[in-house]
Amino acid sequence: MLEPNNNNELPAIPGKRYFTIGEVSELCEVKPHVLRYWEQEFPQLSPVKRRGNRRYYQRQDVIIIRQIRSLLYEQGFTIGGARQQMDGDDVKHDSQQSQQIIRQLRAELEEVLDILR
């Protein structure tokens, strides 16, 4: 998966285990109804559903949403094209996702280091 350019401008992902749909909406700058639609279109996106059908997203889900957002909004893919891109890049996806998590953690640790100085 290509590294999304605009995702650098998105807020940092906090070090929480679960995020509500409202939090993910703010982190990814995508409206909640769009997130619910993407769940139906992209099998990789499967948040945990609890009582009352409330969705709880994990860090991995937020990263996948940012990748989908990049494919659709920045790279100009259609839903079908983005789905194929996501399906075709499963092997690349794991390493890219790991690299993105490492970059995110590094940025967060640098912020903590700046605060401690």
Q: Could you report the per-residue pLDDT of 38-73, keeping only the tens digit for each?
A: 999 998 898 998 888 899 999 999 999 999 999 999
d(CA 86, CA 23): 23
DSSP 1: -
- Write down the domain spans for the chain: 6-116
Class of domain 6-116: mainly alpha
Task: For residue 46, give Cα distances in angstroms to 15, 16, 39, 42, 86.
Answer: 19, 17, 6, 8, 14
pLDDT band at 106 (very low <50, low <70, confident <90, very high): confident
Give the whole-number percent of the chain exceeding pLDDT 90: 46
